[in-house]
Chain A
Amino acid sequence: MAGTKSALVLCMDVGFSMSNSAPGEEPPFELAKKVIQKFVQRQVFAENKDELALVLFGTDSTKNPLDRDGQYQNITVHRHLMIPDFELLEEIENQVHPESQQADWMDALVVCMDLLQTETKGKKFDRLNVALLTDLSTQANQDHLDVIIENLKQAGITLQFFLPFPAEDDEEGGGDSDRRGPGHPGTGKGLSREQKESLDLVKHVMLSLDEEDGLDQVYTFRDAIEQLCMFKRIERRPMAWPCQLTIGSCLSIRIVGYKAVTEERLKKMWVTVDAQSNQKEDVKRETVYCLDDDNETEVKKDDTIQGFRYGSDIVPFSKVDQDQMKYKHDGKCFAVLGFTKQNLVRRHQFMGSQVVKMFAPKDDEHAGVALSALIRALDELQMVAIVRYAYDRRSNPQVGAAFPCVKQDYECLMYVQLPFMEDLRQFTFPSLENNKKLSPSDTQLSAVDSLIDSMMLVQKDDDDADQKDIFKVHHIPNPAFQRHFQCLHHRAVNPGTPLPPMEPWLKAALERPDVISERCQAPLEEIKRKFPLIEVEKKKKLKTSAQIFGKDAEEPDAKKAKGDEEEDYNLADIAEGSVTSVGSVDPARDFRTLIKLKSLPFGEVCQQLTHRIEQLLSNKNTHYYMKSITCIQAFREQSVKFLVVEEKKEEAAVPSAEDTGDVDDLLDMM
């Protein structure tokens, strides 16, 4: 399904009422613009083939294909259907302003539908969607309502509304959006008559399109900024994986798997470029092989073969042999090994990085019934199927659990990978409860109790059994993506300027909800009083250059260097053998010795050491890095001493020879 793509029209109200706001609140126009920016930004960076159009209404001028006889006035097709780009982002930034007219949103919707129908001709789109952002302040013309709804249905166009206020009262639609206190601008004012009428109309349209969940596609601007409402609608659907669920050799059920949950990653990687030219062609990475001898003799790649470690043995094992002898299997499979109680499959033993949902194929109701029987049987018995799962012949088979999932509108099996014996590490930890010294007292326990009470994120409403979850993680867009796109966007549009700070809403979305913060104040104070926590003084873990070179590394202190020297040095080292050059075993010691002996000029010894350091650094291994650090330490310490001596000679100040910045780079590399 590589070719799937969506077409989306963003239809934004820029009329004068959009600029109205209560004091201290952001006008709806600004919020709506942010929604659009955020959305287009992500689309640009997603680099898919989805196409996008932008229609503005309430504009002072009129520019649309339906503009005839004074109809469809003050509606502007700002951009026709095409793949969004940086230009569009810049246009939205600089050209979309509040204007002073008002236009009928129903008319605007018709313009969008017309645009979708004419501009998608001859191209294949899987999804057509119109997103309308408006405050619903104009009275809408209801004359052709039925025709419009019928047309939407026939063309398969889905609709989304984005409003400054929630479509329904708090208990439903706006459920988790009002967690940040005062909430939506507009709600406080109460709605005008036009808005109320329009809202009823919106509900009517949405429910005619989708009886059950129609209203789920009506959002507030706030929701839209903080969540991914628009994306979910046009998102590409995961690939189908058709297979057969088998129970023994006599019973099989056709199934289709879809990856339902998996950690999404950024698609694009950073490439390394030369700092001067910004060209990646100027940078070349090369891997060479060398023997582990003193000269580090290089060998050609062709002169190497493949081997593996078997404990202390290294076994040469060619790729050909390996392929021939490796574990092979029959490929694609979803075979039941047996059934077990759900509680024996522990949540924390889930492995892998995905959940696959298994349905029956769309066109096979017999498979549907058979699968439904299995799902319901498992559900009623509180059991799961333990299965062997192999994606295809090339991939390694897994063992996993298929959980039954019975929802109101669908049933499926959910597959999760389980561990192999080799994956498990059985650690034992000291008991906490049976330890008198550690066990909390009753007053301490009750302090924790009241903390939990004050910090419950799920509240039971008194009147109905419905629970309200005020912090749904799976509604938060990955902040790393948001931040990444924000910075890329900024750098693309304003090269040469520093990166912008994080957006406040993003920061806020990751924090404890205000309600909770207020409520837990007192219980937290109580915890603080009841549980003394004393930090144990320890050496800093993070090594900075200052720590490596000692506190006062910044100011060369000859005396100190001298003091150290006496301790570190012992004659045995020198007597051990005659050192003639800086070797690879203990270059720092050799270096010190040579400096001490003065058998070679200072510059040459330094050069030898630098060479060794470079050699050490070419090995990607902590051990070598540490070794090179000791070399640099020695280098610095000797240089400082050398300088002091030189200074005395010349009575002139010489700047420090070492640039500590590079050492930080070195530490970063580790």
Chain B
Amino acid sequence: MAEWNAYYQNEDEDEEQEEGEQSGGDYKVTGRDSLVFLVDASKEMFIKGEDGEPSNFDMTMQVVRSVYTSKIISSHRDLVALVFYGTEQSKNPRNSFKYVYVYHDLDEPGAKRVQEVDALRGEKGARLAAETMGSGETSLGDALWCCANLYSDIKLRLSHKRLMIFTCRDEPHRGDSAKDRQARTKASDLKETGVIIDLMHLMKPGGFDVAPFFRDIVSQPEDESELGLHLEPCDKLEDLQKRVRAKEQKKRAMARLNLCLGEGINVAVGIYATAVTARKPAAIRLYRETNEPVRSKTRTFHMQTGSLLLPSEIKKAQTYGKKQIVMERDEVDSIKKFQDPGLYLIGFKPMEKLKTHHHIRPAVFLYPEEGEVKGSACLFSALLMKCSERNVFALCRCVSRRNYPPRFVALVPQREEVDEGKVQFTPPGFNVIYLPYADDLRTLDPPQCPSASQIQVDKMKEIVSKLRFKYRSEAFENPVIQQHYRNLEALALDMMAPEDTEDLIMPKVDQINHRLGPLAEEFKDLVYPAGYNPESKSVAKRKTAIVGGVAEKKPKAEVPEDELRAHVQNGTLGKLTVPVLKEACKQFGVRTTGTKKQELIDALTTRLTDTV
């Protein structure tokens, strides 16, 4: 087991290394991302849907909560605020705005905030909202102004500023043109400071009309091509969640490279990680006395002199046998260098040449960078269309960073797909699949096993059909991470016990058994001989081994004659083991020359059908 264990123990280490590799791209933007939820708290928001559907307010709070918790897990340094408008009470930094209630100002979300948002959910939440904030007049202009102040009060550098308005009222000021004008002015002020304003409009009777008012409030898409305003309002939690999620994360390129088709033909592309293994964050060291975080400093110094060693005073070495091989630090780097970073086109191959099992690390995503090389998007788009149309992928040599050795990658075309609500669910671009080298493929000696008969296969097909479901990649939460955060949440909030987490990757055994009904037994009857127990066999074996290698003498394997005949008739002799078959041959005086199973079966079949 040594090898497997070694791998798993090193897993974290290994992948950390990989992670470094992936996230190592030049993160030029150093500021924090920020997101303000500006939520309408008017009476209309609290109206429950038909058949007990949650109110728009309730739905919004669920979304806000899920954004809070996901930020805590994935990007805890982002700042989030929750502001209500159209309230009766007002609460804002200088209390200079009426009908605006800053529930949470711009800060990193924490356990307490999650709890406070939770308090606003459901029936109870609506009551609490009515008590603390109430519903009053609306001045979106003031609300936006207040939000502008939130931004300007932040001393940190903000890199990405977004504001989402959640409302189900398309005319918040009911035609008060002065208020409308003020709101427009404030919105354009905000936009000028780099805030992107989105509208998450919710269902209302009679439909939500974006045109008269909100069209001028929200940000114009960055360029013509960006998916503009969603014209359809959201009426489902899932949709709203999807819309918010799509906007909430700022995408950043891990690296910007050139995709070189040939001499002087360079297409600028950005590489994006669309799936990165989420891990438990590393622990922080705290000072026992005060619980304040401590910083760690690692120093390299000389044992004898005690002086700090500069990079130029150390070298790198490896020892083989008794031979020490020493290199300068930059030599170690230079060994790894083959070419400058970039993608270089080798050629094209039909899609069926991309093997499922040629997988060594998660894929990344490629999208043109028009801002680096003008004309990139057009050539990229042409390549994408043609590759997709002809069902081919582009094979490229890829050097992802300075001093990284090359790997070959398959650029697999992916056309844009949007759902009914015009929300993009697959973006246009190339998926970059890393391909293995010869060293990465291991030689296996597959065991020689008999194949199943069509009857056996068909029975399994029934089982498979009974347990069909529609796989969605976002359906499974990581129980390890979820449990970790629940624990932290419980500790942070002084809860008695952490909230229960449902382990979504646990098989629902009872349901499966129920669905299968008699199928499981039927299948086992078809493939396993009587008395075969797949669970105990290996265990039993090991036990005898422990006892001291004195293997019990196998009981004489004998099968009653009628049972044998039944097997012959049904053609299921193959279920018996070779020793049993041999014994049966002896029993019937069948003389066989061969020892192969099929030979034994054939001989027995001939013999027993003859005598029938």
Contacts and interface: CB of A to CB of B under 8 A. Distances in A.
A123 interface: no
Given A360-B449, A380-B461, A452-B390, A421 B476 contact: yes
B359 A355 contact: yes
A82 interface: no
B266 A533 contact: yes
A253 interface: yes
Nearest to B286: A307
Given A288-B299, A315-B491, A268 B287 contact: no
B385 A445 contact: yes
A134 B514 CA distance: 66
Contacts of B446: 357, 359, 409-410, 412
Contact of B484 (A326, A395, A455): A326
A499 B316 contact: no
16 contacts: A238-B444, A241-B4, A246-B507, A273-B314, A287-B297, A317-B283, A347-B356, A351-B277, A370-B527, A418-B473, A421-B473, A425-B273, A432-B368, A435-B377, A483-B335, A488-B320
A366 B573 CA distance: 12
Given A307-B293, A422-B73, A619-B295, 15 more contacts: A264-B437, A265-B14, A270-B332, A282-B304, A286-B298, A311-B114, A327-B482, A335-B507, A369-B574, A372-B452, A373-B526, A439-B381, A448-B383, A474-B435, A488-B320
A253 B508 CA distance: 18
Nearest to B381: A432
B256 to A, nearest CB: 8
Contacts of A619: 295, 297
A388 B338 contact: no
A251 interface: yes
B528 interface: yes
A547 to B, nearest CB: 15
A485 B68 CA distance: 50
Contacts of B476: 399, 418, 420-421
Interface string A458-487: 100000000001010111111111011001
A275 B313 contact: yes
Nearest 7 pairs of A and B residues by beta carbon: A368-B449, A480-B405, A248-B512, A410-B446, A435-B225, A348-B431, A312-B108
A589 to B, nearest CB: 18
Contacts of B559: none
Contacts of B71: 311
A55 B293 CA distance: 65
Interface stretch (A8-16, A56-64, A255-263, A630-638): A255-263
Given A228-B438, A528-B264, A433 B385 contact: yes
B408 A327 contact: no
Interface in A579-613: none
Contacts of A531: 265, 375, 378-379, 382
B555 interface: no
B63 to A, nearest CB: 14
A421 to B, nearest CB: 5
A359 B316 CA distance: 43
A512 B395 CA distance: 10
B443 A237 contact: yes
Contact of A304 (B227, B288, B353, B526): B288
Interface string B291-313: 11111111111111000111111
B298 A285 contact: yes
A668 B382 contact: no
Contacts of B452: 369-370, 372-373, 376
A659 to B, nearest CB: 10
A424 interface: yes
Contacts of A533: 265-267, 373-376, 379
A665 B312 contact: yes
A286 B299 contact: yes
Contacts of B4: 239, 241, 259, 391
A98 B107 CA distance: 77
Given A278-B315, A278-B324, A284 B301 contact: yes
B469 A250 contact: no
Nearest to A288: B297
Contacts of B477: 420-422
Contacts of A261: 357-360, 436, 440-442
Contact of B385 (A253, A378, A411, A440): A440
Contacts of A534: 373-375
Contact of B295 (A263, A292, A310): A292
A567 interface: no
A313 B223 CA distance: 39
A333 to B, nearest CB: 9
A18 interface: no
B113 A45 contact: no
Interface string B213-244: 00000000111111100000000000000100
B475 A432 contact: no
A289 B296 contact: yes
A34 B347 CA distance: 30
Interface stretch (B158-166, B185-193, B534-542, B562-570): B534-542
B321 A357 contact: no
A308 B283 contact: yes
B524 interface: yes
Contacts of B521: 250
Interface in A53-104: 85-86
B556 interface: no
Interface stretch (A155-163, A165-173, A336-344): A336-344
B115 to A, nearest CB: 11
Contacts of B312: 275, 661-662, 665
B1 interface: yes
A85 B480 CA distance: 46
Given A353-B360, A394-B8, A430-B225, A510 B406 contact: yes
Nearest to A289: B294
B528 A372 contact: no
Contacts of B449: 359-360, 365, 368-369, 371-372, 410-411
Given A282-B303, A474-B438, A502-B338, A311 B76 contact: yes
Contacts of B528: 366, 370
A317 B334 CA distance: 43
Contacts of B136: none
A412 B489 CA distance: 43
B128 interface: no
Interface in A31-69: 44-45, 47
Contacts of A352: 277, 362
Contact of A263 (B246, B314, B360, B465): B360
B110 interface: yes
B119 interface: no
B339 to A, nearest CB: 8
Contacts of A265: 14
A274 B313 contact: yes
Contacts of B379: 440, 444, 448, 527, 531, 533
A427 B437 contact: no
Contacts of A388: 505-507
A528 B264 CA distance: 8
A303 B286 CA distance: 8
B445 interface: yes
A364 B484 CA distance: 41
B76 A309 contact: yes
Given A259-B442, A351-B275, A457 B395 contact: yes
A383 interface: yes
Given A290-B297, A533-B374, A422 B304 contact: no
Contacts of A399: 476, 505
Nearest to B305: A282
A114 interface: no
B299 A455 contact: no
A425 B480 contact: no
A263 B436 contact: yes
Given A261-B360, A499-B334, A524-B261, A308 B284 contact: yes
